[in-house]
Chain A
Amino acid sequence: MFHLELGKYRNIVLSIALFIFFDLAVLVLNFVISSQISNDALMINLAGRQRMLSQRITKTALQVEYRIRDGKPFGNELTEFKKASTVFDQTLTAFSQGGRTTSGTGDEVNLAAIEDPTAQGILREARDIWTPLITAAKSLTDNADIMQASQLARLMEAANLQLLKLMNDLTTRVEQIASDKATMLRTVQVTGITLATINFIIILFHFIGHLRRSDRELEHAHKETADILRTTQEGLFLLDPELKIGSQHSTALNSILGVATLAGADFIDILRARVDQKTLKTAREYLDLLLKHDVKEKLVTSVNPLNRVEMLLDQGPGKPETRFLQFAFNRVKEKGKITHLLVTVSDITRRVLLEQELKATEDRARGQLGMLMEIIQIDPFALHQFLRAAADGLQNINGLLRDQSEPVTGRSGLLRDQSEPVTGRSSLVNALFRQAHRIKGDAAALGMSSLADAFHQLEDLLSELREQPSLSGEDFLPVTVQVKGLFEQIETIENAVIRISQVRGVATVEAPRPQHDPNTAKLPFVQRWRDFANQIATRHGNTVEISYKGIDVATLPEGLSSAVNTIINQFIRNAIVHGIESSDARKALGKPEAGRLSIYISQNDDGSVELSFRDDGRGISVQRIRDTAIAKGRLTAEEATAWDNRRIVGLIFEPGISSHAAVDADAGRGAGLDAVAELVVRFGGNVRIGTTPNEYCHFRVHLAPRAIVEGPAAT
Chain B
Amino acid sequence: MKKLLIVDDSNIIRSKIARCLGKYGLEIAGMASNGQEALAQFKATRCDLVTMDLTMPHMDGIECIRALREIDAHVRILVVSALADKATAILALKEGAQGFLCKPFTESDLTEAIGELISDDDND
Residues of A within 8 A of B (CB): 278, 281-282, 285-286, 288-289, 293, 295-296, 299-300, 302-305
Q: Are A289 and B93 in contact (CB under 8 A)?
A: yes
- Which candidate, B7-15, B42-50, B64-72, B94-102, is the interface stretch facing chain A? B94-102
21 A–B pairs (Cβ distance < 8 Å), ordered by A: A278-B87, A281-B87, A282-B86, A282-B87, A282-B90, A285-B94, A286-B90, A293-B94, A295-B98, A299-B98, A299-B100, A300-B93, A302-B83, A302-B89, A302-B100, A302-B102, A303-B93, A304-B86, A305-B86, A305-B87, A305-B90
For residue A300, which residue of chain B has the nearest CB? Answer: B93
Other-chain contact of A299, B86, B91, B99 (Cβ < 8 Å): B99
Q: Are B99 and A303 in contact (CB under 8 A)?
A: no
Using known A-B contacts A299-B100, A302-B100, A302-B102, determine if residue A289 contacts B87 with beta carbons closer than 8 Å: no
Q: Which residues of B contact A305 (CB under 8 A)?
A: 86-87, 90
Q: Within the assembled complex, what's the spacing in Å between the Cα atoms of A302 and B100?
A: 8
Q: Which residues of A contact B94 (CB under 8 A)?
A: 285, 288-289, 293
Q: Which residues of B contact A303 (CB under 8 A)?
A: 83, 86, 89-90, 93, 100
8 Å CB contacts to A: which residues of B69-118?
83, 86-87, 89-91, 93-94, 98-100, 102
Q: Which residues of B contact A295 (CB under 8 A)?
A: 93, 98
For residue A281, which residue of chain B has the nearest CB? Answer: B87
Q: Within the assembled complex, what's the spacing in Å between the Cα atoms of A627 and B19?
A: 75
Min CB distance, B78 to chain A, in Å?
A: 10
Q: Within the assembled complex, what's the spacing in Å between the Cα atoms of A281 and B90?
A: 11
Q: Which residues of B contact A278 (CB under 8 A)?
A: 87
Most buried by B among A278, A299, A305: A299
Q: Within the assembled complex, what's the spacing in Å between the Cα atoms of A293 and B90?
A: 11
Q: Which residues of A contact B91 (CB under 8 A)?
A: 285
Q: Are B99 and A289 in contact (CB under 8 A)?
A: no
Q: Which residues of A contact B83 (CB under 8 A)?
A: 302-303
B interface bracket (residues with beta carbon within 8 Å of A): 10 to 19
Which secondary structure characterizes the binding site on chain B? helix
Q: Within the assembled complex, what's the spacing in Å between the Cα atoms of A420 and B91?
A: 48
Q: Within the assembled complex, what's the spacing in Å between the Cα atoms of A296 and B98?
A: 8
Min CB distance, A643 to chain B, in Å?
A: 53
Min CB distance, B11 to chain A, in Å?
A: 27
Min CB distance, B27 to chain A, in Å?
A: 25
Q: Are A289 and B100 in contact (CB under 8 A)?
A: no
Min CB distance, A427 to chain B, in Å?
A: 41
Q: Within the assembled complex, what's the spacing in Å between the Cα atoms of A338 and B91?
A: 20
Contacts A300-B93, A303-B86, A303-B89 given; 19 further ones with Cβ under 8 A?
Answer: A278-B87, A282-B86, A282-B87, A285-B90, A285-B91, A285-B94, A288-B94, A289-B93, A289-B94, A295-B98, A296-B98, A299-B99, A302-B89, A302-B102, A303-B93, A304-B86, A305-B86, A305-B87, A305-B90
For residue A293, which residue of chain B has the nearest CB? Answer: B94
Q: Are B93 and A299 in contact (CB under 8 A)?
A: yes
Q: Within the assembled complex, what's the spacing in Å between the Cα atoms of A304 and B89?
A: 10
Most buried by A among B83, B87, B102: B87
Q: Which residues of A contact B98 (CB under 8 A)?
A: 295-296, 299
For residue A306, which residue of chain B has the nearest CB? Answer: B86
For residue B96, which residue of chain A has the nearest CB? Answer: A293
Q: Which residues of B contact A300 (CB under 8 A)?
A: 93
Q: Which residues of A contact B102 (CB under 8 A)?
A: 302
Most buried by A among B83, B89, B90: B90
Q: Within the assembled complex, what's the spacing in Å between the Cα atoms of A293 and B100?
A: 15
Q: Within the assembled complex, what's the spacing in Å between the Cα atoms of A662 and B86?
A: 82
Most buried by B among A278, A285, A286, A303: A303
Min CB distance, A636 to chain B, in Å?
A: 63
Q: Which residues of A contact B93 (CB under 8 A)?
A: 289, 293, 295, 299-300, 303
Q: Within the assembled complex, what's the spacing in Å between the Cα atoms of A281 and B107?
A: 33
For residue A282, which residue of chain B has the nearest CB? Answer: B87
Min CB distance, B57 to chain A, in Å?
A: 24
Q: Within the assembled complex, what's the spacing in Å between the Cα atoms of A134 and B108?
A: 119
For residue A298, which residue of chain B has the nearest CB? Answer: B116
Min CB distance, B73 to chain A, in Å?
A: 14
Q: Within the assembled complex, what's the spacing in Å between the Cα atoms of A296 and B120?
A: 10
Q: Are B100 and A285 in contact (CB under 8 A)?
A: no
Q: Within the assembled complex, what's the spacing in Å between the Cα atoms of A295 and B83?
A: 17
Using known A-B contacts A293-B93, A295-B93, A303-B93, determine if residue A285 contacts B99 with beta carbons closer than 8 Å: no
Q: Which residues of A contact B100 (CB under 8 A)?
A: 299, 302-303
Min CB distance, A257 to chain B, in Å?
A: 21
For residue A286, which residue of chain B has the nearest CB? Answer: B90
Min CB distance, A682 to chain B, in Å?
A: 58
Min CB distance, A587 to chain B, in Å?
A: 66
Q: Which residues of B contact A286 (CB under 8 A)?
A: 86, 90
Q: Within the assembled complex, what's the spacing in Å between the Cα atoms of A295 and B97?
A: 9
Q: Within the assembled complex, what's the spacing in Å between the Cα atoms of A302 and B99?
A: 10
Q: Which residues of B contact A304 (CB under 8 A)?
A: 86
Min CB distance, B106 to chain A, in Å?
A: 16
For residue B85, which residue of chain A has the nearest CB? Answer: A282
Q: Within the assembled complex, what's the spacing in Å between the Cα atoms of A304 and B91?
A: 12
Report the 9 A-B pairs with minimum CB-CB distance, sorted nearest first.
A282-B87, A303-B89, A305-B86, A285-B90, A295-B93, A303-B86, A303-B90, A286-B90, A289-B90
Q: Within the assembled complex, what's the spacing in Å between the Cα atoms of A304 and B86?
A: 7
Min CB distance, B82 to chain A, in Å?
A: 12
Q: Within the assembled complex, what's the spacing in Å between the Cα atoms of A693 and B102?
A: 61
